[in-house]
Amino acid sequence: MVVDVIRWLEQGDHSAIVQPFHDPIVPSGGACPKCGKRMGLHGSMATGRGRETVCPGDYILTEPNGERRPERPKAFSKLYEKIIKEPTKTVSSKKEGDPE
Ligand SMILES: [Zn+2]
């Protein structure tokens, strides 16, 4: 299965998906039980399981059926193999072992 992945780092990243975290019960200065960072640095997004908190650094996965959910980096790297598309290096690629 191929999923689309976006890494969410801070407020303003992918604001269409992740809105600023807001919970009347949890103070924004409180620490996150998952990552220990201030809740004010977190985001919140709608998923198939309801609204979920997004920690800074979480990956936002979009599955083929369009369902989105956040995943902690550790769990993500266990579950998924990263496919990285690098731009083709043409002009300035160095040969292996060349001195700097
Ligand atoms: Zn967190």
pLDDT single digits (tens) 46-92:
998 899 999 999 999 888 888 899 999 888 888 877 665 555 544 44
- Short-list 97, 19, 8, CA closest to 60: 8
**Residue 26: its pLDDT value, please?**
78
Round the average pLDDT of the chain to a whole number and report it. 81
> What separation in Å is there between the alpha carbon of 48 and the centre of ligand 1?
20
> What separation in Å is there between the alpha carbon of 88 and the centre of ligand 1?
36
By CB neighbour count within 10 A (0-12 exposed, 13-18 middle, 19+ buried), where does 25 fall? exposed
> What separation in Å is there between the alpha carbon of 93 and the centre of ligand 1?
39
- Short-list 99, 33, 31, 17, CA closest to 72: 33
- For the chain, what are the domain ranges? 4-79
> What separation in Å is there between the alpha carbon of 38 and the centre of ligand 1?
7
**Residue 89: its pLDDT value, please?**
47
Find tokens 């989105």 and name the residue.
Answer: 68
**Residue 79: its pLDDT value, please?**
80
